[in-house]
Amino acid sequence: LRLETKAAFPLPLDLYGAGRANSLGRDLAVVAQRDDLLAAHAVCVVPTVAEARSDEVDAAVDRAIKAFDAWNHAPVAQRAAALRFAGDALEAQLPRFCALLVKEAHKTWSDAVSEVREAVDFLRFYANEAERIQAPQTLPGPTGESNTLRLEGRGAWVCISPWNFPLAIFVGQVAAALATGNTVLAKPAEQTPAVALEAVKLLHAAGIPANALQLLHGPGETVGAALVAQPGVAGVVFTGSTQVAKIIQRALAAKDGPIVPLIAETGGINAMLVDSTALPEQVADAVVQSAFRSAGQRCSALRLLCVHEGIADHVIEMIQGAAKELVVGDTADLATDVGPLIDADAFEGIQREVQRLRAQVKALLPEPAPTAALPTLMPPQMFEIGAVADAKQEIFGPVLQVVRWKGDPLAVLQQINALGYGLTLGIQTRIDNRAQALARAARVGNVYVNRNMIGAVVGVQPFGGEGLSGTGPKAGGPNYLLRFCAEQTLTINTTAAGGNVALFTA
């Protein structure tokens, strides 16, 4: 039996109240830097950007391909130094970037602080990792030969990043490609171009050459598709929906020429499996954080709570109490827990799913009244469904579906596996062997036991899944950079200058 020390907290109605604390200390950082953050917000102007024309896309790709050799042949220490310099600069400008994240992406201050930190972590982690993996390795071989393995960049990469982590995922993709010697054509989400623009300015100022990192704004359907279709592209890294990942995969496969790798990190119908021995207080805290934090707009977010019927009523009641305590509103306000959704399209799509659920199944939270001032605001919603298989698609917002179970938890896990996604899984149990057995049986990338299931930390919880959730490898993990590299072995006959040559010339 092993429980985290988080077991004792003021509950259930104070989850997000005065006693708030969480594993990363994000909220404490907001309190500590309150004045700096508000001052940065007061002067923050979100810059506008221009959409890339198709001739600009062609020219940018051409420049990226031409810039590759010089960047790839620069010492890895030089590339790493530039990324570390960018990391330090970003850390020093944390309030400015937080303000931009709050204004452009409607992040809460707490989420903004953790996102800037995550971006800094990516820069430092990939700088270190590139130096580690790109040091030539001597391999064992027969006498008379030397064998070495080198990892090099592959060429010009297209990096397509989402709006939900417009800084951390954008910087993470770009840093991974650049650290290993690749050049980058970055296409950030249309909803959040300004954060990307400011990040690119910072990277250029840190010493990344202009042609090694180019930014192209615009819709995925036009600019993204044009980039992916370019013949000289060496690889694509994408975070977003499963559907778009498949469109990219098909487009790459349809091109003439080399087989182009795709690294995709997509969605999930992430479940939390709660047995009858779980601590209801801990479950309620983990559920509220995982399902409703960031307005549920994380691919790691909890979508499906599978709770044992023996404690289901109690757990649901606690979540209802905690959900009502959440401050839902404008994220410019430091006290806000749940901000508006990213845009009207997202709101309408989720609203349709919510209406369907409201018509078909039991609602566990009251229907929220629309907010005229913030039309895309969606307070947390919770519905009870009949079976795991009824959770058919990812709803990318603060909408939780709950299902009661009894009997064998492994059987419930098989139903979760059968959904086909494989990103995150939460397990709540006080039976250690059971947690281990469920984790082994789960086909997901990240398993979290007796805690929340979001906020994977770079280098600590490498993040990413399989199946409908992506291709792997895990971002922020020891294997991520390998996929951005071409491997070359060099075998030299070390006897040639001695015996063999002498033999031939004798």
CA 144 to chain centre: 47
Closest CB to ligand UN1 among 181 and 267?
267
CB of 265 to ligand UN1, least distance (A): 6
Closest CB to ligand UN1 among 12 and 426?
426
Residue from the set 239, 270, 351, 429 that interacts with ligand UN1 by CB under 6 A: 239
Closest CB to ligand UN1 among 61 and 342?
342
Determine phi and psi for 404, rounding to 5 degrees.
-90, 145
CB–CB of 121/459 below 8 Å?
A: yes
Active-site pick, 118, 198, 265, 281? 265
Q: Does 298 bind ligand UN1 (CB under 6 A)?
A: yes
Q: Does 242 bind ligand UN1 (CB under 6 A)?
A: no
Q: How far apart are CA 151 and CA 441, in angstroms?
A: 34
CB of 294 to ligand UN1, least distance (A): 8
Closest CB to ligand UN1 among 301 and 365?
301
Q: Which amino acid is at 232?
A: G
CB–CB of 188/138 below 8 Å?
A: no
Q: Which stretch binds ligand UN1 (CB under 6 A): 30-38, 148-156, 350-358, 452-460?
A: 452-460
Indicate the pairing of strand 156-160 with strand 485-493.
Answer: unpaired
Closest CB to ligand UN1 among 275 and 337?
337
Q: How far apart are CA 147 and CA 364, in angstroms?
A: 64
Q: Which stretch binds ligand UN1 (CB under 6 A): 89-97, 103-111, 269-277, 295-303?
A: 295-303
Site for ligand UN1 in 120-179 (CB under 6 A): 162, 164-165
Q: Which stretch binds ligand UN1 (CB under 6 A): 89-97, 217-225, 298-306, 398-406?
A: 298-306
Token code pair at residue 320: 């209802």
Give the closest residue to 469 by CA, choosing from 428, 416, 402, 404.
Answer: 416
Long-range contacts formed by 38-46: CB under 8 A, 24+ apart: 38/334, 39/95, 40/95, 40/96, 40/98, 40/99, 41/99, 41/102, 41/103, 41/332, 43/99, 44/96, 44/99, 44/100, 44/102, 44/103, 46/100, 46/103, 46/104, 46/194
Strands (E), 137-283: 137-139, 145-153, 156-160, 183-187, 213-215, 233-239, 262-265, 270-274
Q: Does 300 bind ligand UN1 (CB under 6 A)?
A: yes
CB of 393 to ligand UN1, least distance (A): 16
Closest CB to ligand UN1 among 307 and 456?
456
Active-site pick, 44, 98, 159, 299? 299
CB of 22 to ligand UN1, least distance (A): 12
Residue from the set 99, 208, 299, 481 that interacts with ligand UN1 by CB under 6 A: 299
CB of 498 to ligand UN1, least distance (A): 55
CB of 67 to ligand UN1, least distance (A): 29
Q: How far apart are CA 91 and CA 79, in angstroms?
A: 19
The yes-or-no answer on residue 221 being catalytic is no
Indicate if the alpha-carbon torsion angle 317, 319, 325, 329 is positive or negative. negative
Q: For residue 497, what are the contacts with CB-CB under 8 A and spacing of at least 6?
A: none
Q: How far apart are CA 100 and CA 41, in angstroms?
A: 8
CB–CB of 86/202 below 8 Å?
A: yes
CB of 425 to ligand UN1, least distance (A): 13
Site for ligand UN1 in 453-482 (CB under 6 A): 454-456, 463
The yes-or-no answer on residue 265 being catalytic is yes
Closest CB to ligand UN1 among 82 and 301?
301
Number of residues that bind ligand UN1 (CB under 6 A): 11
Burial class for 454, CB neighbours closer than 10 Å (0-12, 13-18, 19+): buried
CB of 350 to ligand UN1, least distance (A): 16
Site for ligand UN1 in 51-110 (CB under 6 A): none
Closest CB to ligand UN1 among 212 and 236?
236
Q: How far apart are CA 252 and CA 345, in angstroms?
A: 28
Q: Which residues bind ligand UN1 (CB under 6 A)?
A: 162, 164-165, 239, 298-300, 454-456, 463
Positions annotated as catalytic residues are: 265, 299
